[in-house]
A and B are shown apart, each in its own frame.
Chain A
Amino acid sequence: MTVNHSYHGVLIGLLVAMIGSFFADLLAGPVSLQWFNIWAAIIENKASLDSLIFFEIRLPRAILALLVGATLGISGAALQGLLRNPLAESGIIGVSNCAALGAVLVFYFGFTQWAWFALPLAGLLGALVSVVLIFLLAGRSGSTVTLILAGIAINTIAGALMAMALNFAPNPYAMQEIVFWLLGSVANRSVSDVLIIVPFIVFGGLLILSCGRFLNALTLGEETASSLGFNVQVLRWRLVVGVVACVGAAVSVCGNIGFIGLVIPHLLRPLVRHDPQRLLSVSAMGGAVLLLLSDVAVQVLSSGGELKLGVITSLVGGPFFLYLILKNRNVWG
């Protein structure tokens, strides 16, 4: 079983890379930490400035980068499998912009002072609105194409409303706040931010993983998948709800971070021999690695925090995607 061997090799390799980049992200930052201080805090419960920085700033940041990267990777792989199209990502069902719109409205009306959870809550509500709207527009029995058309329409409208919020921003400060937030970042998030999104990401991730066999069956098209004993209508919605839950949670805390959902499944697909089910877990790990490394790059390149994470992923992702297209242009006919 050489196939299994190479698959396990890929899994182990990515796991090692993920752990490595997680620790690299913990190490990165403007202050160099004394590790025995953190050790002392764990063992003897003795707080210090170093342990405070570590537990309140760096650990939530690295965990967020890991979770959000994994979310974007697995969601991209899930939607590409559902559509049998390597160009799909979570924007295509409207969830990213709706979650972002929810958060933007919080900035716009200045609700951020009310409660720390106003921002993530609004983002999650935005994601919920997106899935309800798609459901109303596409209907329970609508085809995948109807579903995607509804998603794209919702994405566009949410984008337009965000532009309007920027247009009528009450003051330049609010405008700057919105723009910086939209660029996407994992900096300066709290432990509470992590805790509020973990249930959604775990729930969404499990829903997506439970559709793995369905995605394999979809390799032969929807009618064949149906004849192979899969309830296409139910499983399609399960997949969409899974993506909305985890991407909505990720966007509501970290903003729109582009290109990972598109590039990671595309890049890793040959490693799992185009197996859509295996691509899910592999893309989750690959997405986590890419976002963690991007976050390390952000901190190395600009210690003041001016450079946003979403800018780096797009800057790296865009040209890389171009390279892939040029390399494979003959394959796509």
Chain B
Amino acid sequence: MGLSAVLNDESLLLTGQQLTLSITGGATLLNAVSVTVNQGELVGLIGPNGAGKSTLLKLLSGVDSPSKGCVSLAVSGSLEPISALSVRERAQKMSYLVQGAKAYWPIEVEKMIALGRLPFQKWWQQSSDYDQAKVVRAMQLTETLIYRNRIVTTLSGGEQALVMMARVLAGEPEVIFADEPVATLDPYHQLHVMELLRAHAKGERAAVVVLHDLSLAARFCDRIYLLNDGGLFCEGSPEMVLSQHNIARVYGVDSQITRVGQDLSVSPVARLNNR
């Protein structure tokens, strides 16, 4: 570890190797989980409450540091541990959207979105025209231009989710890490946010998203990591991971899985007693 390795697989964008996080007191929140993210991929992290999804996302995005293991990012042809990057460089390449993102002060939407450009400004610099253009582009992508002068705390939950996505997109990161970005949204806004993530995860870019809605995960994600109790239960395509057997084992529910067009639809129907 600590050394950068030449990439054999050109499409590889990010790896997390044997990520473990133990907190003081001895509890292990995450135990030796490995993740790879390729260019153009939308990767889903699913699992029951307390499985370690948010913890894993924070480690992958560099917001927290693992007790053991290493997260590496492909930087111009070689894998660099993100601990070797400056926090600024890391922030330019990877963006993190916290669960239930909110603004603590009632500032204007446009100003809030412009915070996404902070990693590109030196401390003496103000927002440039280039930054401003990126902010406007992010508002266009998320259809939030109409709110640009509104106060962010007065927006509805769905509108806030979109402007938070705009904040992330304004930085044009290589990888977006989003923690339950659609958990509290109506179906319209759920689809809108997932489509934005899907559109971002193209070409050389990727996104990692924590989801509770298994049908959304099946529909939008290229690959899914199913976590259980701080460990990785299984990983693969939605068809492989979202089986009745796996869902029963991990979530403790009986589910009905149907095929709707090309996608799976997963609906939990009953709690199982022998979890």
Contacts and interface: CB of A to CB of B under 8 A. Distances in A.
A304 interface: no
A interface majority secondary structure = helix
Contact of B104 (A3, A220, A227): A220
Q: Is the interface of B mostly helix, strand, loop or mixed?
A: mixed
B98 A223 contact: yes
B166 to A, nearest CB: 13
B103 A219 contact: yes
Interface stretch (A26-34, A144-152, A269-277): A269-277
B188 to A, nearest CB: 25
Contacts of A84: 104-105
A228 interface: yes
Interface string A286-315: 000000000000000000000000000000
Nearest to A218: B104
B91 A210 contact: no
A140 to B, nearest CB: 14
A229 B105 contact: no
B91 A219 contact: no
A213 interface: yes
Contacts of B167: 220
A84 B98 CA distance: 17
Given A216-B115, A217-B115, A223 B103 contact: no
B82 to A, nearest CB: 12
A221 interface: yes
A174 B103 CA distance: 50
A230 interface: yes
B96 A224 contact: yes
A221 B63 CA distance: 12
- By size class, the interface of chain A is 20 to 34
A228 B106 contact: no
A48 interface: no
Contacts of A219: 103-105, 107, 112, 115
B249 to A, nearest CB: 31
B115 A220 contact: yes
B87 A229 contact: yes
Interface in B67-107: 86-88, 90-92, 94-96, 98, 101-107
5 contacts: A213-B123, A218-B104, A221-B102, A224-B101, A227-B94
Interface of A: 3, 84, 210, 213, 216-221, 223-224, 226-231, 269, 273-276
Interface of B: 58, 61-63, 86-88, 90-92, 94-96, 98, 101-108, 111-112, 115-116, 118-119, 121, 123, 167
Closest 8 interchain pairs by CB? A229-B91, A227-B96, A84-B104, A229-B119, A274-B105, A229-B88, A228-B118, A229-B87
